[in-house]
Amino acid sequence: GEDVEQSLFLSVREGDSSVINCTYTDSSSTYLYWYKQEPGAGLQLLTYIFSNMDMKQDQRLTVLLNKKDKHLSLRIADTQTGDSAIYFCAENQQAGTALIFGKGTTLSVSS
């Protein structure tokens, strides 16, 4: 079945880069997403990438996709304390279908 795996914790210092990794098993995954959840809040869509792309950059965020290894990463440049949150990797095979989520990576940023 479909599975999405993430490491559970990442701790960085303010100003450093953070890299959150995700692996997925479904080779037919077409869309891959990163969501951010701050404590007690909902899920905020950060960015997404389609399977025909290798990289996407959006301000401080860089998404890299290695389809061969089924590996997705999210790099946050110049990490700030406000970036502390849980980051979820998610995938689906086509638009309008359910998202399959990883268990989330808790990013802790210290000043």
Secondary element (H or E) of residue 4: strand 4-6
Per CB under 8 A, the segment of 16-24, 54-62, 75-83, 93-101 that binds other proteins is 93-101
The answer to whether residue 35 forms part of the interface with other proteins (CB under 8 A) is yes
Q: Which of 14, 43 has the CB closer to other proteins?
A: 43
Structure-derived torsion over alpha carbons of residues 62, 102, 2, 33, reported in degrees to the nearest 10:
-30
Sign of the CA dihedral 23, 24, 25, 26? negative
Among 88, 91, 107, 109, binds other proteins (CB under 8 A): 88
Compute the distance between CA of residue 32 and CA of residue 36 in angstroms, rounded to an integer: 14
Compute the distance between CA of residue 103 and CA of residue 80 in angstroms, rounded to an integer: 23
The answer to whether residue 48 forms part of the interface with other proteins (CB under 8 A) is yes
> Minimum CB separation from other proteins for residue 89, in Å?
11
Residue numbers of the site for other proteins (CB under 8 A)?
31, 33, 35, 37, 41-45, 48, 50, 86, 88, 90, 95-99, 101, 103-104
